[in-house]
Chain A
């Protein structure tokens, strides 16, 4: 660990944060690191909005009667929560923040292949986000984040079109980011950085970008179809107009199942980095993890029908999709095994980012295994559209995706900001978040098994105890996030100076200053070692931050 003296009073050397500080230098920046910060700030704002909506309906759910919200308002709250959290927080979270910051640095490049497209992606994203927020403020949407037809196209009296446009536009920002990742990873790796020397985080970004490019156009066109049916009465999904509502579900889930891998693959990439660093070992089965990421990206496109077992999809298609779904679990399980093998015999240290990695492992296993209950036809008939599904996807998306994001944020925070956060508080917050999360979502499995349907706010009294547990958990969880937000903001000004490599990690991002200079490296790095070369000493590890100023100016 760096034992650098706290020099916070003295100015940091010139870096991407302090080089220029005007508003326009931020809003017109082409620097991938600054764009990552723009994304970080906006995504956290969306996370806050989505979280507040959830807190409101969790309060409503504490009693069996409707007392805080009317039914329609309740529907609007969970829809806002879903749309904001999925399209405007979780899908972009790791790629647009950590990926944007790290991909060029990790591969030793000065920036992305298309810096202007990168900046444009943020503006496009914000435009979509603002439309969705307007839809919410100007009356709301009550279709649920899935926009199922024919309700969304024919019956809903709300701002469906606006919300759909918001999601549609945000999709293009994902596409721009994905395109940039692929081209940059292909074309701009530092000398010596061969494909199998790439950090697993880069592989995860690459696999994610493939899913984004192949899947997002489909949801975009599907949303357009909702638009034209709703606005102009074209018969596509509405049976009254000769359409077919199940067609919507096919098209929607063709994207939205792979989209769950857009959310989880990046988190898996983060976890690989964390486990390697805090076990001080090269990852066991590096290539297995690489190929399982690619396998997940591909197989993820063959399973969407598992969301439709109880729709009027044919029994044969249900069987096929159920069968295919079990295959996705294989590469996921392989990753798990390799992570565990890495920990085994590693010298494991429990720094705060690693706690999130452990949180990920435990929670994601529960999420993944309950996925298997849901992909079994017979059990899904009972569990579909109950709280069991809600618990399942929160275990994977929050327990997996958000834990991965927070673990990565803590791990690279010193690199991004140049400062450390208070470790003791961080450990405390991680534990509060873990407890709050489980208290919120574990009871929902029980609720679901006992038959509590999702998306209802009036329920039989026997469910109240579990609902109260869940609502209490939500508050604990929210409290944990607040502590985290507070100390991260505090650290921006008062945190200990981090130095180049506070975790003693390997990888090009740890070879450069923290925060990195505008062009990332003072001279183009050359890679001479395999990835995660913990057997070799790193130039930067264990060095205090008092780096010579050579190469600046």
Chain B
């Protein structure tokens, strides 16, 4: 296979960009965006950007046949399957439990305490 010769300057530029982004990650880690999820999103976005730079330039995806894009793309999809279905578990752990509690009101509290206020409400 013939690879176009990539100028060293390109590599150095990308390397520089990766270093800057790394510094950015560290800096951002000390800022509180108010919500943990937001912090995670920012950090992950930078990480994805860095991974893309490595894939496209360092790993020559930019200069490669379509089929290699397909392969790289499918591995990303596979990662989404892995993380997605794993989160199905983590995100739904309390979920079913609380539904169960709604269906059976005394599951979390002793039935007597539940029954008393309910009876009061009915009268007012």
Contact B96 A254 (CB under 8 A): no
Q: Which residues of B contact A47 (CB under 8 A)?
A: none
Contact B85 A218 (CB under 8 A): no
Cβ-closest chain B residue relative to A254 = B82
Cβ-closest chain A residue relative to B71 = A213
Residues of chain B in range 92-121 having any CB-CB distance to chain A below 8 Å: 92-93, 95-96
Contact B88 A320 (CB under 8 A): yes
Contact B85 A302 (CB under 8 A): yes
Q: Which residues of B contact A254 (CB under 8 A)?
A: 82, 86
Q: Which residues of B contact A247 (CB under 8 A)?
A: 86
Contact B86 A250 (CB under 8 A): yes
Residue in A251, A302, A305 whose CB lies within 8 Å of B89: A305
Q: Does A7 contact B (CB under 8 A)?
A: no
Q: Which residues of A contact B88 (CB under 8 A)?
A: 314, 316-317, 320
Residue in B75, B89, B92, B96 whose CB lies within 8 Å of A250: B89
Q: Which residues of B contact A314 (CB under 8 A)?
A: 88-90, 92-93, 95-96
Grouping DSSP codes into helix (H, G, I), strand (E, B) and loop, the B interface class, with mixed when no group exceeds half, is helix
Distance in angstroms between the alpha carbons of A78 and B95 in the assembled complex = 38
Closest CB of chain A to B1's CB: distance in Å? Answer: 10
Distance in angstroms between the alpha carbons of A247 and B82 in the assembled complex = 11
Report, as a range, how many residues of chain B touch the other chain.
Answer: 10 to 19
Residue in B74, B82, B90, B95 whose CB lies within 8 Å of A218: B82
Contact A313 B89 (CB under 8 A): yes
Grouping DSSP codes into helix (H, G, I), strand (E, B) and loop, the A interface class, with mixed when no group exceeds half, is helix
Closest CB of chain B to A257's CB: distance in Å? Answer: 11
Distance in angstroms between the alpha carbons of A301 and B77 in the assembled complex = 11
Distance in angstroms between the alpha carbons of A251 and B88 in the assembled complex = 14
Q: Which residues of A contact B82 (CB under 8 A)?
A: 218, 250-251, 254, 301
Q: Which residues of A contact B75 (CB under 8 A)?
A: 214
Q: Does A246 contact B (CB under 8 A)?
A: yes
Q: Does A315 contact B (CB under 8 A)?
A: yes
Q: Does B78 contact A (CB under 8 A)?
A: yes
Q: Which residues of B contact A313 (CB under 8 A)?
A: 89
Q: Which residues of B contact A218 (CB under 8 A)?
A: 82
Distance in angstroms between the alpha carbons of A305 and B93 in the assembled complex = 14
Q: Does B81 contact A (CB under 8 A)?
A: yes
Closest CB of chain A to B86's CB: distance in Å? Answer: 5
Distance in angstroms between the alpha carbons of A68 and B74 in the assembled complex = 50
Residues of chain B in range 1-58 having any CB-CB distance to chain A below 8 Å: none
Distance in angstroms between the alpha carbons of A186 and B90 in the assembled complex = 40
Contact B96 A305 (CB under 8 A): no
Distance in angstroms between the alpha carbons of A214 and B70 in the assembled complex = 13
Q: Which residues of A contact B90 (CB under 8 A)?
A: 314
Distance in angstroms between the alpha carbons of A94 and B102 in the assembled complex = 53
Distance in angstroms between the alpha carbons of A214 and B82 in the assembled complex = 11
Cβ-closest chain B residue relative to A315 = B96
Distance in angstroms between the alpha carbons of A218 and B85 in the assembled complex = 15
Contact A317 B81 (CB under 8 A): no
Cβ-closest chain A residue relative to B100 = A315
Q: Which residues of A contact B86 (CB under 8 A)?
A: 247, 250-251, 254
Distance in angstroms between the alpha carbons of A254 and B84 in the assembled complex = 12
Cβ-closest chain B residue relative to A320 = B88
Contact A301 B89 (CB under 8 A): no
Closest CB of chain B to A240's CB: distance in Å? Answer: 19
Distance in angstroms between the alpha carbons of A381 and B73 in the assembled complex = 38
Q: Which residues of A contact B85 (CB under 8 A)?
A: 302, 304-305, 317, 320-321
Residues of chain A in range 364-406 having any CB-CB distance to chain B below 8 Å: none
Cβ-closest chain A residue relative to B92 = A316
Distance in angstroms between the alpha carbons of A386 and B95 in the assembled complex = 30
Closest CB of chain B to A77's CB: distance in Å? Answer: 33
Give the most central of B81, B82, B96: most A CB within 10 Å: B82
Name 19 interchain pairs, CB-CB below 8 A, sorted by A: A214-B75, A214-B78, A247-B86, A250-B82, A254-B86, A301-B81, A302-B85, A304-B85, A305-B85, A305-B89, A312-B93, A314-B88, A314-B90, A314-B95, A315-B96, A316-B95, A317-B88, A317-B89, A321-B85
Spell out A's residues near B (CB within 8 Å). Answer: 186, 214, 218, 246-247, 250-251, 254, 301-302, 304-305, 312-317, 320-321
Spell out B's residues near A (CB within 8 Å). Answer: 67, 74-75, 78, 81-82, 85-86, 88-90, 92-93, 95-96
Further pairs besides A214-B75, A315-B92, A320-B88: 16, Cβ < 8 Å:
A186-B67, A214-B78, A218-B82, A247-B86, A250-B82, A250-B86, A251-B82, A254-B86, A301-B81, A302-B85, A304-B85, A314-B88, A314-B95, A314-B96, A316-B92, A320-B85
